[in-house]
Homo-oligomer: A and B are copies of this chain.
Amino acid sequence: MRIGIYGYGNLGRGVEAASKKSGDEVVGIFSRRKVASPFGNAVYPAGTAQGFKGEIDVMVVCGGSAADLPEMTPRLAADFSLVDSFDTHGKIARHVEKVGAAAKAAGTLALVSAGWDPGLFSLARLYFSAFLPDGDTYTFWGRGVSEGHSDALRRIGGVADAVEFTVPSDSALSQVGRGVRRHFAPGEMHKRECFVALEDGVDRERVEREIVTMPEYFAPYDTKVNFVSADEVAALRGKMGHSGRVIRLGESGNYETSRHRMELSLSLGSNPGFTGGVLLAAARAVFRMRARGKVGCVTLLDVAPRDLYPEEGVFGLI
């Protein structure tokens, strides 16, 4: 499979490293910045990508979900079959629709929102619910950086730089671990730790108030704000590890012995490194499904698992 990497930040570098493990050929990396590849892959200006139409089987689109992907993925789908990791959960249905329209018109196939969540965790939520319909699913993230929440901090006036760590609540984890089926409000399941570097002369109290009262992002949570130097924020931002788990508690019958528990847990040394591997497996499925004539936009939930696997025979895994 010949891939292109569009966008060369942390995620693009993760995809490039993962390609060394999967054995996929990187035809080119496309970046707005002039940078060199540590693996010796060719880096081209982003604007030249279209010229590689026909030479790239699947483009791996590596941009941010807030500003980049909503514009980038539909545009690139006009020339390439592709994958992306669009991760704003509430806007995925709309993204699929927009990308699907572009891909259908162009006769390409796109797979969007691949990664660990959305992605592997979406798969777990679906399988768990399908296999055990009477149950409750709990998703815990962290400890790890949330890009969306870090962005929200950085948009506050007077903030020079910031990073947010999402931390699961010990109490909620322990209740679910003991098999207690109950509803948790979002703020009962996670805590938010913010590390914020201010511009000179900015009022700490005002910034802290803006953070802890921010609707959806921080107000519902136990939020701790730490004011630190820009260097400290940068060092914390370099910690790209993450973890999380999806747990389902449920019952297949009406007996004590009908209670079941399923759990998928991940512990990632590097969030973009792991996501890179998921994107390349998704790209393989796109390559195969497009070869069978499929066009439009799908997610991992639409893909037969076998299509993700490098080898043809899967009975060794069964």
Chain A residues engaging chain B, CB cutoff 8 angstroms: 14, 17-18, 20-23, 89, 92-93, 113, 118, 120, 122-127, 129-134, 240-241, 251-270, 273-274, 276-278, 281, 284, 299-306, 308-310, 314-315, 317-318
Contact = CB atoms under 8 A, between A and B. Distances in A.
Contacts of A304: 301-304
Given A14-B252, A301-B304, A318-B92, A258 B270 contact: yes
B251 A308 contact: no
Contacts of A264: 124, 262-264
A267 B259 CA distance: 9
B255 A130 contact: no
Nearest to A247: B265
Contact of A317 (B126, B131, B256, B269): B126
Contacts of A252: 14, 17-18, 21, 269-270, 273-274, 276-277
A253 B18 contact: yes
A123 B130 contact: no
Nearest to A263: B265
A277 B126 contact: no
13 contacts: A14-B253, A130-B284, A131-B281, A131-B308, A133-B310, A255-B269, A255-B273, A261-B266, A263-B264, A300-B305, A301-B304, A301-B317, A305-B305
Nearest to A243: B261
Contacts of A301: 304-306, 314, 317-318
Q: How many copies does the complex hold?
A: 2
B131 A277 contact: yes
**Top-4 shortest CB links A-B:** A17-B253, A130-B308, A252-B273, A130-B281
Contact of A309 (B126, B269, B314): B126
Contacts of A281: 130-131
B131 A127 contact: no
Which of A130, A240, A269 is packed against the most chain B CB atoms within 10 Å? A130
Given A113-B318, A252-B21, A263-B265, A120 B126 contact: no
A303 to B, nearest CB: 6
Contacts of A126: 305-306, 308-309, 314, 317
A195 B225 CA distance: 59
Contacts of A256: 269
A212 to B, nearest CB: 29
A92 to B, nearest CB: 5
A100 to B, nearest CB: 13
Contacts of A266: 260-263
A134 to B, nearest CB: 4
Given A252-B270, A273-B253, A302-B304, A317 B129 contact: yes
Contacts of A125: 317-318
